Structures are given as C-alpha cells and as structure tokens.
Amino acid sequence: MLIPRPGWRTRRTAWWMLALCLLPVQQAAAQAASAEMLKAEVIYRALMFVTWPAGREAAGRSLPVCTLGEGRVETALQALQGRPIRHLSVEVRRLAKLDQAVHCQLLYVSTPTPMPALKAALADAPVLVVSDASAMLDHGAMINLQIEDGRIVFDVELDATRRAGLDISTKLLRLARFVRHQQPAS
C-alpha cells in the first residue's frame, strides 16, 4: 500500500494549524511580559512626582534605581537606563546585598523582605522602596504595585515616605488606589 506524500497544500494547512494552536501561548507570554514593562513604566512615571532631599538631587548626578534579585520586573527596569527625570538621568543597578541600598534613590524589592531587615539596612535613608509583592506596605515598602482587573494599581505608605525625607506630589497620591496615613493624635 502506498501512502501519499503530503503536498504543499497539506503542509501549508498543517503549518497554519500549528500557528493557530501556538497563538494563545504567544499572546499569554506577551501579556505577561507587558505587565512587567507596564510596572517599570509606572515606576518611572512615579519618579517624576517624588522629590528627594536637596543633596540627593544635585544637577549632573544620576538617579540610582536599584533592584534586589532577578526577575521580570528587574529586567524591565533595565529599559529605564539613561531616561531623564527632571535634571537627573536614571541609572539602574542590581544589588547583591540589601545594605548597599542606602546609595540608591529607589529600591525595587520583588520578594517579601522582613521589615526589620529593610529598616536596619535603610535606617530612614531617603530611599523610595517599591515592591509588587503582596502586603509589602506592612513590611517596609512605600509604594506597592498590584494588578487589579487587568490594570496596574498602586498603594502608598505616606508616613514611611515622610520619615525618609521624601516628598510625594499630591498629583501622584490622587492616582493611588489607597494611601495609608496615620492621623496625628490630637
């Protein structure tokens, strides 16, 4: 019995069927990558609305954005390298140890880090701590990014930013999903 070899039409049809099967996988991968790119862009835009103490924002200096660990958001933050923020230029650094973070203006923490470790490493240094790990506002983060209903939202721990000597514009605070702030006792 002879088995006919597939002709060009059969091969073309098989190729299209394979492409159609792989399309949802490719779209899911693109959406996952774009979520991290969007988080990096939200971080960049938030930087425009944060003011550090005068010595940290001197003209001609870089704005060090530091990351701990390796991951998709850390990789996406590398795309910010050299982009301008006012009169500063973003410089992205990967840190090996948490205690190196005092030389940064923004520290991105992807994994939950215990609050005592963050407090000890930063000791109220003017470093904006950003994370996308859940509940990190309770563990030392000042801005926490989350995905809600398919969009990037963020929460702000206002008291922590003020203790660190950072000023966050009300324009940014109005965009936050939630701003945590303890009312002073009267």
Task: Give per-residue pLDDT as tens, 146-158.
Answer: 999 989 999 999 9
pLDDT over 50 at 11, yes or no: no
Residue 34 has what pLDDT?
Answer: 82
Q: How many helices (H) and strands (E) does the chain have?
A: 5, 10
Higher-pLDDT residue of 131 and 70 is 131
The domain over range 39-173 is classified in CATH as 3.40.50.1820: no
Q: Where are the alpha helices (DSSP H) in the chain?
A: 8-47, 72-77, 115-122, 158-163, 170-175
Contact 74, 67 (CB under 8 A): yes
Reduced to 3 states (helix: H, G, I; strand: E, B; else coil), residue 175 is helix
Least confident of 57-61, 70-74, 83-87, 108-112: 57-61
- Residue from 163, 69, 155 nearest 107 by CA: 69
Higher-pLDDT residue of 25 and 43 is 43
pTM score of the predicted model: 0.78
- 184 pLDDT tier (thresholds 50, 70, 90): low
